[in-house]
Amino acid sequence: MAQRIVVAGGGYAGLAALAKLLNEPGARLTLVDSEPGHTLIPELPEALSPGKQVSRRVVSYDHLLKDARVSRIADAIVSINCAQRWLSLGSGEQVAFDWLILAVGTVPAFPHIAGLQKFALPLKSAKDTERIKRHIDRRANQTVVIVGGGLTGIEIAGVLVSRHRVSVVEGSTRLLPGLGPGLAAYAHRRLETAGVHFHLGSQLSEVTADHVIAGEHRLNYDVLIWAGGIEPPGWLRDTDLPLDSQGYPVGDDTGEVADQIYVAGDLWRIRGYDKRWIPQTAQLAEQAGAYVGTVIGRRLHHDYPLPTFHPRLRGMLVALNPGKGVGWVYHGGLAVQGYSARWMKRMVFRQYRRGLARAFGHVWPK
Ligand SMILES: Cc1cc2nc3c(=O)[nH]c(=O)nc-3n(C[C@H](O)[C@H](O)[C@H](O)COP(=O)(O)OP(=O)(O)OC[C@H]3O[C@@H](n4cnc5c(N)ncnc54)[C@H](O)[C@@H]3O)c2cc1C
């Protein structure tokens, strides 16, 4: 009898896993996702530019999966019962599975600072991006405060600075922890020249409807954007999944968290050779999803031993509008900055879209 394989979340990991299992004759595949399409999250910051559409960064599942043997359920998962092997949906319906790939990604993490969650706008989804766009498009020259000097905060600052007064607040004393100090300093200089004000080493302590207190500074704002971190969805705590102290599922070396239940993508925290957490990125999510899909395929055929997962970060590129970028490629072997870095980032996006189209036999809409 065909095995029911449910993929929870059609993001970078979920789709990569599905692509590996598409031609598996013994599998009945179902994708459950609360959204109507696959969001190209790394492309969202540039959608904040005037004239750019958020909808072009979302690939409709109806379109993508129309020729694939995948059933789709458009609903939010609200709970999982590992022991009884079902998940329940917002509608109240239950979905039974033999195998589950949990790839629902992460959500913005708001530390306990009064007013923060009420007034700050995160950027993690297409809806978040539309909401920020509505605020910033009201008029030019607004005061925008972005909290968080990592990749997301820096890319947003680069896009908004040509039309607004932009400040970035960062608790640590440097930007972009994923890049070396020289590359981070390049990003800092470029954005400062473009007009971004930086408040480094400034801890956010208070948020009201019109200002924040960061370190010694009181910063007034019209729009406040939160780019200060991610965490696992809170509803996972109400499941019988084994979780670590931060609420991430704890899996073995193959990502298996319970019998025939796997985790992939941002939700699967993985340590590198140096024992440090590998940054959660789309490329890691894709590799993890493809790996977990392969492992399940092999197990369906009793094809042992299973492969080992060797995640490899090929590069890290940050867009610094207009037209420039900074980062490293070739597994850290080559630092890039300026127009070439921005061009490479565009190529990475294009390659991803092409790969997706190939995997699902889909023609990219013009
Ligand atoms: C602004 C921004 C810029 C970024 N830029 C880069 C970059 O340049 N390069 C890079 O490599 N990484 C980047 N990242 C990180 C990258 O986007 C993530 O690492 C990646 O999306 C994780 O993939 P995933 O499959 O785990 O989750 P996601 O891509 O987040 O997908 C999760 C899916 O699960 C669905 N889902 C969530 N909850 C539920 C639920 N309860 N029920 C049903 N469905 C659900 C969602 O709708 C979504 O489709 C960026 C992130 C952000 C926020």
Tens digits of residue pLDDT in 338-350? 999 999 999 999 9
Tell me, in angstroms, the distance from the centre of ligand 1 to residue 11's CA: 6
Structural domain harbouring 86: 3-106+232-313
For ligand 1, the distance from its centroid to the CA atom of residue 301, given in whole angstroms, is 30
Of the three residues 180, 200, 229, the one that is the final residue of a domain is: 229
Residue that terminates a domain, selected from 229, 250, 280: 229
Q: Is 195 found in the same domain as 99? A: no
Tell me which residue has its CA closest to atom 31 in ligand 1.
11
CA distances (Å), 186 to each of 56, 126, 176, in order? Answer: 30, 29, 11
Strand ordering across the sheet containing 165-170: 121-122, 223-226, 143-147, 165-170, 197-200
**Statement to judge: residues 218 and 266 lie in one domain:** no
- In this structure, what token pair is assigned to residue 186? 């390049």
Pocket test for ligand 1, best of 44, 58, 88, 266 (most atoms within 8 A of CB): 266
Longest dimension (CA), the chain: 65
Close Cβ partners of 16 (under 8 Å, ≥ 6 residues apart): 264, 285, 286, 287, 288, 289, 290, 293
Residues 6+ positions from 362 with CB-CB distance below 8 Å? 63, 64, 66, 67, 356
Running along the chain, 366 residues long, what does each successive block of 10 average in pLDDT?
96 98 94 98 96 96 91 97 97 98 98 96 98 96 98 97 97 92 94 96 97 96 97 96 97 97 97 88 97 98 96 92 89 89 95 94 64
Q: Residue 228 to residues 61, 115, 149: CA-CA distances in angstroms?
A: 30, 15, 8
Q: Name which of 169, 176, 177 is nearest 190 in CA terms.
A: 176
Report the C-alpha dihedral over residues 266, 159, 130, 87, rounded to 10 degrees: 0
Rounded to two decimals, what is the model's pTM?
Answer: 0.97
Give the domain CATH number at 186: 3.50.50.60
